[in-house]
Structure 1
Amino acid sequence: MSFPASLPKAVTAVLESINSKSSTDFCTAFSSDGIIIDEGRTCKGHSSIEAFFKNAFISHSASVIFKNANQVGEHIIIQVTMDGDFVADYGITEPFILYFNFHLHFNNITSLLITPWDSSNPTMTAVYVDKGSIDDPISAIKTAPRLQPTPQEGWVRVKMLAVGLNYHDIFTMRGLGMRTPKFPLILGCEGAGVLDDGTEVLLYPAMGNPNFKGDETLDPERHVLSEQTDGTLAEYVNVPLRNVVPKPKGLETISAAVLGIAWLTAYRMLFTKSGLRAGQTVLVQGSSGGVTTALIQMGSAAGMRVWCTGRTQEKRELGLRLGAERAFGSGEELQEKVDAVFDTSGEVTWEHSVNSVKAGGTVVTCGGHSGSSIPLNVQKVFVEQLNIRGSYLGTLQEFKDLISFVVSKAIVPHVGHVLPLREADVGFRAMLEGKTAGKIVVTL
């Protein structure tokens, strides 16, 4: 088909080359360092662009029909109807609408953004997944422009400044959760940002039925950011007004960004679920993860005798630097039993946790990263009258109390790595491989 004569020659060349299946004409339209961004994939330079063309268009027998064009500043957005054989690879029913967003310089295309939505509307960069991957969750991550969402009634827009990464996001990448994730989903469960009026805020991550009364962590409809709604790993996120809490002036943004999930979970485990008092001895199973470093720092600040475990000498030394009195190897028998054990891993550590707590003591669990099917000697539980307590996140009031506690005790949450948004996948891979040394934070 013919294309409007008013289109720049480079744009026409791209559209015509798709229909003629000419990778040479397609590549020639781009500058030598030209970029294509297509649903999270970024291709730069002619060799990469040629490979993209063959994989995306030729291999799927693609063709395009021009619908309309729109110029926004230096960008030309072309709406096309695309046909081809996309069902097998993508489950897409043809034909379908696409938007080609071109940026040109001296008659060469410097960038091309391809989206299924109209990119003439305000966009933002986001880290998201559009399907789960059980075996290789990191491969599901995409970093690309997305439409800026409009807040619904009772919600507010937050410009994100810093976001803490959590293992919960890895479950989402795998397509797992209390309820099946509704893809596509922007990742990120917590963070700190600023409202449109300039107010700096922290985000309380839990949402649910607004009419539910009582402890919101028991709401049958509860969920957190990035489970049923888009999360915080984007330039902007929309949240219910009740989920924004003003950031105290004495709290740094990086520190504020990590309090919503791991630190709130640790706070509830310590102060709501364990029944501990200052001076009592606790064992933290781990010494380098987000929840475990929070337990060590807060437990020590609250006057508890904190012991921890670690798989390596480096991890054990980190636990000691953060306030633990003693550090043991994973599974190492303790010389004396403790008043409470905090277990975040599940299957691998559970037997050691139960064997390490004294009669009448408490084991608090908040996770099952190593597996959720645990060995349990029920006779030991009732004979020694052990208390086994499950803990999930925390209430909004506990979140506010946590913030006050951290500020009043001048606690600086331990952050092991700070990464830019486009390297969020690097942080998640480190988390998946157990190469953490405290929280990992992404800045925007």
Structure 2
Amino acid sequence: MTFPTSLPTKITAALEAINNRDSNRFYTSFSSNATIIDEGKTLKGHASIKDFCNKAFISHSASIIFENVIQVKDHTIVQVTMDGDFVADYGITEPFTLYFNFHLQDASITSLLITPWDSSKLTMTAVYVDKANIDNPISTIKIAPRLQPIPQEGWVKVKMLVVGLNYHDIFTMRGLGMRAPKFPLILGCEGAGVLEDGTEVLLYPAMGNPDFNGEETLDPDRHVLSEQVNGTMAEYVVVPQRNVVPKPKELATVSAAVLGIAWLTAYRMLFTKSGLRAGQTMLVQGSSGGVTTALVQLGSAAGMRVWCMGRTQEKRELGLKLGAERAFESGEKLPEKVDAVFDTSGELTWAHSIDSVKAGGSVVTCGSHSGGSIPMEFEKVFVEQLNIRGSYLGTLQEFKDLISFVMEKSIVPHVGRVLPLSEVDVGFQAMIDGKTAGKIVVTI
């Protein structure tokens, strides 16, 4: 394969090295501290670059055909068609198009970005996954440039500032959900940002069929950000106009970023589904997760007697700090039965939830993080006339009501950890390990 003579010598050498299966010539085309970004992975230095060439190209019998050159300032982007043996490892249909985005300094390559899209267009940093791994979801996370989205008619572009992490993102990494995820997907279900005109906004996360005539949480086509469309864990996201809600000036951006999923779910569970009134007693199965801390704070602000459970003393103390009247060890028998129980876990806590609610009371559930096979004394349900209520997210009006309630009661949503985007895997691992103390957010 002959490359254009106009290409810098080092770029030609690197590209020819791929076709010649020569990893030594490939890596010596780069400066000693050069970086390569490919599929969300960053490699630095000659040893890593040589290893990359062997694993990514030579071991797959890769070959490239030159297609085009795009020059953008000090970057040379070479479009190629690549062939090889990629189907078994990656499921890639061959041949396929790649763009090699080179940056040179002093005649050596200092960086190379490899993308399946034209990187001469506006890009952004994003956290995304392109395949599922049910056993090791963290391994699917990639942080790399992606194309900036262009809003279609009726949609708006939002520059993201802070994004809340949710267990829903982990389900996506595992390939789970009401519908199979359409990879590649940018993660992130909620967050706060700013419109192009400078308006600060919160994002309502639910979307669906615009022609559905009914409550949006019952829409058969409903989905949230990062399920069927790209999510918020990027510098920019596009959403329907109806999904942006102005942020009150008094509401901190970090606080605003967590209201879309966990806090909206908790609000609907408490105010729409439970039937509780001020002065009644509620039990929260947990005291340190996103939904559970929101339930404690909302219930306390609404005048409920809030009890919570926690696996550790530290978690129970957090529940008390956030407004719970009493905190109990997980599975501990309560001194009296409560008017409503809020269960986000499922299998591990369900029997205790049913045992803890008084006759005529309610058990409200929004998740099954510990498993969905529920043991239950069914006779107790009808003999004691228990109300078992499922809850899914919340409506746009409930989202607006939640914001108003938070402002009226001067609630500061508890955020246990703020991380840079580069450490998003640390946050998700803490969630998987159960080492949370409230919501975890990342700054963009």
Instruction: Give the alignment's TM-score, normalised by structure 1.
Output: 0.99
Where 1:94 maps in the other structure, the secondary structure is: coil
CA distance in 2, matches of 1:7, 1:418: 45
Partner of 1:134: 134
Give matches, 1:20-39, under 5 Å. 20-39=20-39
CA distance in 1, matches of 2:200, 2:96: 42
Q: Does 1:297 align with 2:297?
A: yes
Letter in 2 for 1:168: H
Give matches, 1:318-329, under 5 Å. 318-329=318-329
Letter in 2 for 1:418: V
Where 1:162 maps in the other structure, the secondary structure is: strand
Q: Does 1:7 align with 2:7?
A: yes
Deviations 1:152-178 (A, max 9, x none): 111000000000000011111111111
CA distance in 2, matches of 1:195, 1:327: 42
Partner of 1:109: 109
CA distance in 2, matches of 1:303, 1:46: 63
Letter in 1 for 2:426: V
CA distance in 2, matches of 1:62, 1:192: 43
Count of equivalent residues = 444
CA distance in 1, matches of 2:378, 2:91: 49
Partner of 2:121: 121
Deviations 1:339-394 (A, max 9, x none): 11000000000000000011111110000000111112111011111111111000
Partner of 2:230: 230
TM-aligned CA deviation for residue 214 of structure 1? 2.5
Gaps of 5+ in 1: none
Partner of 1:155: 155
Where 2:6 maps in the other structure, the secondary structure is: coil
Partner of 2:341: 341
Q: Does 1:309 align with 2:326?
A: no
TM-aligned CA deviation for residue 413 of structure 1? 0.7
Where 2:294 maps in the other structure, the secondary structure is: helix
CA distance in 1, matches of 2:275, 2:283: 14
- CA RMSD, Structure 1 to Structure 2 (Å): 0.8
CA distance in 1, matches of 2:380, 2:92: 55
CA distance in 2, matches of 1:74, 1:420: 28
CA distance in 1, matches of 2:96, 2:398: 48
Partner of 2:96: 96
CA distance in 2, matches of 1:206, 1:440: 20
Give matches, 1:355-366, under 5 Å. 355-366=355-366
Deviations 1:65-110 (A, max 9, x none): 2111111111110011112111111112322211000111111111
Where 1:394 maps in the other structure, the secondary structure is: coil
Where 1:381 maps in the other structure, the secondary structure is: helix
Partner of 1:75: 75
Letter in 2 for 1:81: T
Give matches, 1:245-284, under 5 Å. 245-284=245-284
CA distance in 2, matches of 1:132, 1:22: 33
Where 2:369 maps in the other structure, the secondary structure is: coil
Partner of 1:42: 42
Deviations 1:103-132 (A, max 9, x none): 111111111000111111111111111111
Letter in 2 for 1:137: P
Letter in 2 for 1:419: L
Give matches, 1:378-397, under 5 Å. 378-397=378-397
Gaps of 5+ in 2: none
Q: Does 1:217 align with 2:220?
A: no
Partner of 1:407: 407
Letter in 1 for 2:395: T
Partner of 2:438: 438
Partner of 2:175: 175
TM-aligned CA deviation for residue 134 of structure 1? 1.0
TM-aligned CA deviation for residue 213 of structure 1? 2.2
Where 1:12 maps in the other structure, the secondary structure is: helix
Query: Kindly, what percent of the aligned residue pairs are identical?
Result: 80
Deviations 1:146-205 (A, max 9, x none): 111211111000000000000011111111111111111111000000011110000000
TM-aligned CA deviation for residue 2 of structure 1? 2.2
Where 1:368 maps in the other structure, the secondary structure is: coil
Letter in 2 for 1:278: A
TM-aligned CA deviation for residue 397 of structure 1? 0.3
Letter in 1 for 2:44: K
CA distance in 1, matches of 2:403, 2:93: 49
Where do 4+ consecutive residues of structure 1 move more than 2 Å? none
CA distance in 2, matches of 1:216, 1:68: 47
Give matches, 1:414-425, under 5 Å. 414-425=414-425
Instruction: Give the alignment's TM-score, normalised by structure 2.
Output: 0.99
CA distance in 1, matches of 2:397, 2:441: 24
Which deviates further from its counterpart, 427-436 or 85-94?
A: 85-94
Where 1:57 maps in the other structure, the secondary structure is: helix
Where 1:80 maps in the other structure, the secondary structure is: strand
Partner of 1:58: 58
TM-aligned CA deviation for residue 407 of structure 1? 1.0
Partner of 1:205: 205
CA distance in 1, matches of 2:177, 2:50: 39
Letter in 1 for 2:396: L
Letter in 2 for 1:339: D
CA distance in 2, matches of 1:247, 1:259: 11
Letter in 2 for 1:403: I
CA distance in 2, matches of 1:66, 1:377: 68
